Amino acid sequence: MAVLNFTLSEEGVSSLRDALTCVSKFSDEVSLEAKKDKVSKRPADNEAGITTKYRLPFELTPPVHGKFDRNEASNHWSIRSRSLRQIMDYFGPGIEYLDFHSEDDETVNFTCFTEKVKNGEEVLKKPLHTSIAVERGEFEDFDVHEDQLHIVISVKDFRAIIQHANFLGSQIFAFYSLPTKPLQLKYEGDGIKCEFLLMTVGERGAPGQKAKKNRGGAKGPKPPQLEAATSRAASHAPTPVPRVPPQPQATRPDPVPSLRPSIIRPSQRPPPATFESESLFVPQDDEHQWDPVNLGEDEEEENARLEWDIRGDFHAPATNARSMMTNRNTQESTSNNATEDDLPHLEPTQRLSQVRKFGLFDD
Amino acid sequence: MRFRSDLKNTRTFSKLVAALSSLEKIAWLRLDDDTVRFTVIPDTGSQVWASFSMDFIFNNYAIQSAEPNNTINLELPLSPLQRALKSALSGSSALIRLTKKDGIPVLSMTITTSTKEPQGAARQGGIGANPGAGNHRGNYDDDEDGVFAHEPLETNLRREREKIVTQDIPVRVLHPDTVETIMQPKIRDPDVHIQLPPLLQLKAISDRFTKLAIAARASTSTNAAAASAVSSSSYSPKLELSANMHGGLRLRLDTDSLNVESRWSGLENPELDPAQLECALEDHPSTRFREEGPNKWATVRVDGKDWSKVLSVGRLEGRVIACFADDHALIMYVYVPQYDETGGEDSVVTYYVSSYSA
The predicted pLDDT at position B160 comes to 54
* Contact: B150, A292; criterion CB under 8 Å: no
On whether both B170 and B260 belong to a single domain, the answer is: no
Mean pLDDT of the residues in chain A: 67
Q: Rounded to 5 degrees, what angle do the CA atoms A258, A262, A263 make? A: 155
The pLDDT tens digits for B51-61 are 999 999 999 99
Residue of A92, A240, A306 with shortest CB distance to B80: A92
Q: What is the mean pLDDT of residues B209-219?
A: 86
Query: What percent of chain B stands above pLDDT 90?
Result: 63
Kindly indicate the confidence band of residue B304, based on its pLDDT and cuts at 50, 70 and 90.
very high
Report whether pLDDT(B126) > 80: no
Within-domain flag for B50: yes
Is residue A177 one of the residues assigned to a domain?
A: yes
**Span B36-65, average pLDDT:** 94
| Residue partners of A348: CB distance under 8 A and separation at least 6 | none
The string of pLDDT tens digits covering residues A172-191 is 999 999 888 899 999 998 78
- What is the per-residue pLDDT for A54? 87
Most confidently predicted of A86-100, B55-69, B170-184 = B55-69
Averaged confidence pLDDT in chain B: 84
Q: pLDDT, tens digit, for every residue of B77-110?
A: 999 999 999 999 988 899 999 999 888 899 999 9
Task: Tell whether B125 is covered by a domain.
Answer: no
> Of A226, A204, A220, nearest to A157 (Cα)?
A226
Question: Does the distance separating the beta carbons of B104 and A126 come in below 8 Å?
Answer: yes
Q: For A201-218, what is each residue's pLDDT tens digit?
A: 865 443 333 333 333 333
Q: Which residues of B are less than 8 Å from A299 in CB distance?
A: 214, 228, 231
Domain identity same for B232 and B312: yes
Q: Are residues B210 and B322 in the same domain?
A: yes
Do B305 and B340 belong together in one domain? Answer: yes
Q: B249-254 and B259-264 as β-strands: parallel, antiparallel, unpaired?
A: antiparallel
| Residue A134 belongs to domain with CATH number | 3.70.10.10
In sequence order, what DSSP letters do the residues of B42-84 get, joined into one string?
-SSS-EEEEEEEHHHHEEEEEEE-SSGGG-EEEEEEHHHHHHH
Q: How confident is the model at residue B288 (pLDDT cuts 50, 70, 90)?
A: very high
What's the average model confidence in pLDDT over A298-303? Answer: 42
What total of structural domains would you count in chain A? 1
**Nearest-CA distance from A159 to chain B in Å?**
9
For residue A74, pLDDT over 70 is answered with yes
pLDDT at A357 over 50: yes
Residue A106 covered by a domain: yes
A299 touches chain B (CB under 8 A): yes
Task: Give the pLDDT band (50/70/90) at residue B255.
Answer: confident
The strand pairing partners of A112, in sequence order, are A98
Residues in chain A with CB shorter than 8 Å from the CB of B75 are 124, 239-240
Host domain of residue B48: 2-113+166-180
pLDDT at A219 over 90: no
Using the beta-carbon criterion (under 8 Å), do B148 and A235 form an inter-chain contact? no
The reply to whether B23 falls in a domain is: yes
CA–CA separation, A16 vs A8, rounded Å? 9
Is B129 among the domain residues?
A: no
The answer as to whether B124 is a domain residue is no
User: What pLDDT shows up at residue A353?
Assistant: 59
Q: Does residue B258 form part of some domain?
A: yes
Q: Answer yes or no: is A245 within a domain.
A: no
Q: Is A180 part of a structural domain of the chain?
A: yes
| Cα separation, A25 vs A28, whole angstroms | 8
Least confident of A144-153, A322-331, B32-41, B329-338: A322-331
pLDDT exceeding 90 applies to what percent of chain A? Answer: 21
CB distance from A132 to chain B under 8 Å? yes
Residue A324 has pLDDT above 60, yes or no: no
The H-or-E segment that residue B218 falls in is helix B199-220
pLDDT band for position A5 (50/70/90)? confident
Tell me: do B175 and B215 sit in the same domain: no
The pLDDT of residue A39 is: 53
Span of A66-80, A240-254, B212-226, B307-321 with lowest mean pLDDT: A240-254
Q: State residue B116's pLDDT score.
A: 57
Q: Is B114 on the interface with A (CB under 8 A)?
A: no
Task: Indicate whether B21 and B109 sit together in one domain.
Answer: yes
- Give pLDDT tens digits for A257-266: 333 444 444 4
Domain co-membership, B174 together with B248: no
Kindly state whether residues B61 and B92 are assigned to the same domain.
Answer: yes
pLDDT value of residue B312:
94
Task: Give the domain range for residue A149.
Answer: 75-198
Higher pLDDT pick, A222 / B258: B258
**Domain of B299: which CATH number?**
3.10.150.10
Q: Please state the domain count of chain B.
A: 2
Domain check: are B213 and B311 in the same one? yes
Reported confidence tier of residue A273, pLDDT bands at 50, 70, 90:
very low
Same-domain pairing of B213 and B81: no
Determine, yes or no, domain membership for A298: no
Question: Which of A199-203, A311-315, B312-316, B319-323 is predicted with the least confidence, judged by mean pLDDT?
Answer: A311-315
Does A38 reach chain B within 8 Å, measured CB to CB? no
pLDDT at A326: 40
According to the model, what pLDDT value does residue A240 have? Answer: 37
* pLDDT class of B41 with cuts at 50, 70, 90: very high
List pLDDT tens digits, range B113-123.
Answer: 875 554 443 44
Q: Report, in angstroms and rounded to the nearest whole number, the Rg of chain B calculated over CA atoms.
A: 24
Measured in degrees and rounded to the nearest 5, phi and psi for residue B59 equal -130, 140
Distance CA(A19)–CA(A38), nearest Å, equals: 18
Q: Report the phi/psi class of residue A359: left, alpha or beta, with left for phi > 0 and alpha for psi in -120 to 50.
A: left
Any domain includes A6:
no
**B275 in the same domain as B221:** yes
Residues 140-169 in A contacting B (C-alpha not used; CB under 8 Å): 140, 159, 163, 166-169
Residue with the bigger pLDDT between A35 and B256: it is B256
Query: What is the pLDDT at residue A349?
Result: 53
Percent pLDDT > 70 in chain B is: 80
Band (B140; pLDDT cuts 50, 70, 90): very low
- Alpha helical stretches, state H, chain A: 10-23, 81-89, 155-168, 299-306, 316-319, 321-338, 352-355
Residues B109 and B199 both lie in one domain = no
What's B84's domain CATH number?
A: 3.70.10.10
Answer whether B164 touches A (CB < 8 Å): yes
Lowest mean pLDDT segment, chosen from A27-41, A49-63, B5-19, B23-37: A27-41
